[in-house]
Structure 1
Amino acid sequence: MDQNEKTILKNFSPVKILIPVFLGLAATVWLFIRDDKVSELKGLAQANVWWLVAALLVLVVRDAGYMYRIRSLTDKFLTWRNSLDVIMLWEFASAITPSVVGGTTIATIILNKEGIPLGKSLAYVMLTAVLDNMFFIVAAPIALLLTQGQVFPTFNLDPSDVTKLQSAFYVSYSLIAVYTFAMIYALFVKPRAFKWLLLKVTSIRFLRKWRVNAFQHGNEIVWASEQLKGKGFNYWSRAVISTIFVWSARYFLLNCLIAAFTDVTLSEHMLIISRNLIFWIVMLIAITPGGAGIVEMAFPSFFGIFLGGFSSIVVVLYRLITYYPYLILGSIFLPRWIAKVFGHYPKQSEVRA
């Protein structure tokens, strides 16, 4: 079996799919049982159907934006159909891996198996990570400034918990910033100097066991950097605009769900988007696959003030719309994609954990 195929099947094993499902469902059940909120499920009948439809439409538009971005980054090498495969499997990989890990390794293999050379595949995946992180880095200070401190939740939280939440945000934001600017330096300024630095650091005695990995990662950075040289203004403008678009759509989806259960003013819409941004940055350091369990637990503190008795319902709908569908769709797309790029459907024994 091809080594890439083994990697794909290992990372997409049934056990890795079931873990986030179990964590998410367990956290959801606990939310309802903890405060005896099972009766709140009746509140679904009060939802504004049009706002729910709008949420689904925003989800479709967001994924279309992702497809446009990856197709644009590959200079239209990928067809729309292939872009759909890539995005569905990429989201699938992100859903079953911890947020701190993400699906970047799998995404590189997916692009490579779609016929894109390894160096370019690495470049595109690294570039999407830089673009996404730069959105966080730029948007977070704007959110903090515009909301004048209201962006951090205090609903049902002790002052000590608010402080811990703020600390988690600043730690996550700092890590994102350091990683992103290091990647920008490595990709666009001095890739070979970055490779030298990696090798120099791993020459220290207690770090020598990572020297081979550092050498390999350094080579990957150099390859990726070479692929991104000479790109024109139109290329970069499409990349930046599409990134702003997909993340704005991702955040506005929650606004639609909240508006389905309660009246939301324009200023509240802006505050919800700002809190969602902070929420996502904190969740980026989540250690569970797809943030499963942690998202469900933290959600009411961030957005409960807008929802009152509907917070538990909305967090369930939010995860049902934005998370679980990708587990299902990924499971559908995966065998067909493997048959396309590897020439056969995986045998049952090949997909075991």
Structure 2
Amino acid sequence: MPQLTETSTEDQQLLDKLRPSRIVLPVLIGLSVVGFMFWRSYKPGDLAPLANAKPLWLLLMLVVLVARDAGYVYRIRYLTQKVLSWRASLDVIMLWEFSSCVLPSAVGGTAVAPVLLHKEGIPLGKSVAYIMATAMLDNLYYVLAVPLVVLIGGDALYPHEALQGGLVATLRIGFILSYVFVTVYALLMLYAIFINPQSVKRLLVRLFTVRGLRRWRNKAYKMGNEMVLASAELRNNGRAYWLRAALSTAFVWTARYLVIGCLIAAFIDVSWPEFWLIFGRNLTYKVILLIAITPGGAGIAEGAFPTFFGKFIGTATMTNFMVLIYRVVTYYLYLVLGAVFLPRWVARIYGKRITDGTD
């Protein structure tokens, strides 16, 4: 009976996080911000570049979007050692993206992903291990990509043209601090998974006994246990497993950061140096999204977009149009897809349990 109660509670919490009504708030916030931006700066003549749209770049943007999602599906299927079918992998990724859109950016879909895998029949310990592996790989991509884009873009990664000196300095400090935090976290996960998980667990618990941090001690203890489980599940996987995981991670994140450049190039003539600078600015733009407290960064992502990319687009009206299209294809689309995939997934998972007599 306790196990059934615990399962029911877990199910209820999951379905509460994924309920379709959560779409309303981020859509209202995001579209209200874009609407205000258009109202403040709209000039019909500024949309003239739309008549010169380049179909090849638009097609390339769509290819990049599809490739990104295909890469995510491939990665989760092979990280779970093909326990997930292709259909289950697609469902998990769509619901993972949906949860990232309806939960605050600081929480993201990572909080929901282990439960999704668990509902697909993967033991919870393994589910946590696989999601920790994706988080570690994602962070390592960022750790390796930042020095490269800094080398290429230098100080141009910061939007001097849109921000005053003090704000640029604040953004630079935030970027550096976020990089240091992600690097330390990635290295800690590497050490915990492959070398000594117990020592990292003890370090976390001791760290969160310090006054001011004690209220998060239970979470730190839980995270330490998860690292120990992840280590047991993952450390013995061969080189081919990790090479495939690393390459698919590099593929999906590179595709993710290429979307804005492809979108801008579809309407505005940009040089290749500018295109790669746009790619690099995605990493500084990400700092703003990391600290966003709204669901999926709604409103904040739209409001910050012109600061980072307006320089490459030109007029405020055209920039606002780009914001709208960008959020449609990378955010609102996944709200719609999540609302489509969720009922099908619920019917497949919970219908199966009822049929099997496990509910």
Q: TM-score, normalised by structure 1?
A: 0.91
Q: CA shift at 1:38, angstroms? A: 6.2
Structure 1 residue 191, shift from structure 2 partner: 1.1
Q: Mapping of 1:208-223 within 5 angstroms?
A: 208-223=214-229
Counterpart selection for 1:316 from 324, 331, 346: 324
In structure 2, distance between residues paired with 1:152 and 1:202: 35
How far does residue 148 in structure 1 lie from its aligned partner after superposition? 2.6
Q: Is the Cα–Cα contact under 8 Å of residues 20 and 339 in structure 2 kept in the other structure?
A: no
1:303 to 305, 309, 327: 309
Q: Which residue of 2 aligns with 1:325?
A: 333
Whole-Å separation in 2 of the counterparts to 1:152 and 1:207: 33
| 1:326-352 superposed Cα distances (whole Å, 9 cap, x missing partner) | 10110111111111112289xxxxxxx
CA RMSD across the alignment: 2.0
Q: Which moved more, 1:329-338 or 1:180-189?
A: 180-189
Q: Deviations over 1:79-132 (max 9, x none)?
A: 111110011000001111122111112100001111111111101101111111
- Are the counterparts in 2 of residues 136 and 281 from structure 1 also a CA contact under 8 Å? no
Aligned to 2:357: none
1:41 Cα offset (Å): 5.2
Of 177, 180, 193, which residue of structure 2 is paired with 1:174?
Answer: 180
The structural deviation recorded for 1:74 is 1.0
Q: Indicate conservation of the 8 Å contact 1:94/1:102, yes or no.
A: yes
Range 212-221 or range 67-76, more displaced: 212-221
Question: Could you list the runs of 5+ residues in structure 2 that have no partner in the other structure?
Answer: 1-6, 354-359
Using the size of structure 2 for normalisation, the TM-score is: 0.90
CA 1:171–1:53 in structure 2 vs 1: closer, same or farther (change >3 Å)?
A: same
In structure 2, the partner of 1:65 is: 71
Alignment partner of 1:157 is 2:163: yes
Deviation at 1:190, TM superposition (A): 1.6
Q: CA deviation at 1:173?
A: 1.8
Instruction: Return the alpha-carbon distance in structure 1 between the equivalents of residues 213 and 254 of structure 2.
Output: 41
Superposition pairs for residues 1-353 of structure 1, below 5 Å? 2-37=8-43, 40=46, 43-203=49-209, 207-309=213-315, 310-343=318-351
Structure 1 210/266 Cα, relative in aligned 2: closer, same or farther at 3 Å? closer
Contact map agreement 1:51 1:260 (CA 8 A) in 2: yes
Q: Do 1:20 and 1:96's aligned partners in 2 also have CA atoms closer than 8 Å?
A: yes
- Superposition misfits of 4+ residues, deviation over 6 angstroms: none
8 Å contact kept, 1:40–1:313 = no
1:21-41 CA-partner distances (Å, limit 9, x unpaired): 111111111211122346645
| Alpha-carbon distance in 2 for matches of 1:75, 1:176 | 27
- Change over 3 Å in CA distance of 1:42–1:23 after alignment to 2: farther
**C-alpha distance in 1 between matches for 2:126 and 2:107:** 21
Moved more, 6-15 or 119-128: 6-15
CA distance in 2, matches of 1:156, 1:38: 23
Letter of the aligned partner of 1:329 in structure 2?
L
C-alpha distance 215-167 of structure 1, shift in aligned 2 (>3 A): closer
Deviation, structure 1 residue 206: 5.8
8 A contact 2:49–2:268 mirrored in 1 = no
Deviations 1:232-259 (A, max 9, x none): 1111111111111111111112111111
Measured in 2, the distance between the counterparts of 1:204 and 1:138 equals: 32
Gaps of 5+ in 1: 346-353
Distance 2:215 2:161 in 1: 47
Aligned length: 345
| CA–CA separation in structure 2 for the residues paired with 1:294 and 1:312 | 14
**Cα separation, partners in 2 of 1:154 and 1:78, compared to 1, 3 Å:** same
Deviations 1:296-341 (A, max 9, x none): 1111111111110221111111000010011011011111111111
For residue 275 of structure 2, give the secondary structure of its aligned residue in structure 1: helix
**Could you tell me which amino acid in structure 2 is paired with residue 232 of structure 1?**
G
* Residue 196 (structure 1) shift: 2.0
Q: What amino acid does structure 2 have at the position aligned with 1:76?
A: K
Q: Secondary structure at the match of 1:343?
A: helix
| Residues 270-301 of structure 1: per-residue CA shift (max 9 Å, x gap) | 11111112212442222221111111111111
CA distance in 2, matches of 1:87, 1:133: 18
